Amino acid sequence: MFDPAAWIQAARPLAQINIALPLLLGQAMAFAVLGRFSVGLLYCAGVFGTLAQLVIVFVNDFADRETDAHNTTFSRFSGGSRVLPEGRLAPATLRLAALVMLAVFVLFCVVLAVVSRPWAPAFALATALLVWAYNHPPLRLAYRGHGELLQGLGIGVVLPLAGYYLQAGTLAGFVWPALVPLLLLGYVGNILTALPDAPSDRASDKRSYPVRRGQWVARRHALELLAMAAAMSSWVLPGLSLLGTALVAAPALVMAAMAVPLLGSADAENRTECERFVLLTAGAGHLLVLVWGLVLVLRGLW
């Protein structure tokens, strides 16, 4: 029996912010450079991001099904969608859905290539390769370690480039240094979503960042890398003065500072504080990207 609620749960709508923001930032960068913007192409980028997310979350849930089944410290931001541990969907069904979404994703990008964006399939291929390397042998870096680098590449490199290209039709004028702080933010995002899952990851020998480095060190590094990305605001916004950098970074750093008192106590076993730490730190990263995007839009309007 088809259960719409189960599929909505499997799609993890809250996770879309991780996909949508870098795509939007890439498009804001294109607007700042070119001074033009297409709502139709914005819609196309939205479809691209939605399909990419469905591929990612369905594949991740299937690949992590055994680990998630023993996870008792999951949160709204981690531990998968829970449709498999709860028995709402069968693993084979979710695997089939992942393959179907991948086919639709590739087909959509092929159509874009035929119509106006010949390199669109390259971004679908890059996304698929990163998802495969993250979840499946022989690399399976989510379990072998350093999967956070793949997420950094996906969220911080592939998606901003895809957003820029889909809106501009070219990568000419792209601010390449921007990829460094964006990669850092994607890296931080993986650390944060792994924090609540540390006990079950350790039990299943999944070598996530908190398992390899310890939860306290992982929390500290997440905040430090976020601060580094904020300090690199001029890499995203060329010509930004030192004062401008401070003003742009301030809202995110204030939010991140609210997570500092939780550094010593927000272990996964303390679910309330762990979730609060993740929410504040991830929110600070999202806020930083939003401020960057706003400044880019203002530059485009000027």
Convert the pLDDT of each residue in 6-59 to its tens digit: 999 999 999 999 999 999 999 999 999 999 999 999 999 999 999 999 999 999
Q: Which of 78, 211, 208, 198 is nearest to 150 (CA)?
A: 208
Convert the pLDDT of each residue in 232-248 to its tens digit: 999 999 999 999 999 99
Q: Which of 1.10.600, 1.10.10, 1.25.10, 3.30.70 would CATH assign to domain 7-301?
A: 1.10.600
pLDDT at 1: 59
Could you count the other beta carbons within 10 Å of the beta carbon of residue 219? Answer: 27
Phi, psi values for residue 31, rounded to 5°: -65, -40
Read off the pLDDT of each residue in 130-144 and give the average, rounded to a whole number. Answer: 94
CA distance 140 to 272: 30
Q: Which of 234, 259, 262 is nearest to 249 (CA)?
A: 234
pLDDT at 150 over 70: yes
User: Could you report how far apart the first and last alpha carbons of the chain are, in Å?
Assistant: 54
H/E stretch holding 244 reads helix 242-257
- CA distances to 20, 113, 176, 182, 218 from 60, rounded to whole Å, are 18, 28, 29, 22, 22
Q: Give the HSE-up count for residue 97: Cα atoms under 13 Å, Cβ half-sphere.
A: 24
With a pLDDT cut of 70, the percent of the chain lying above it is: 100
pLDDT at 2 over 90: no
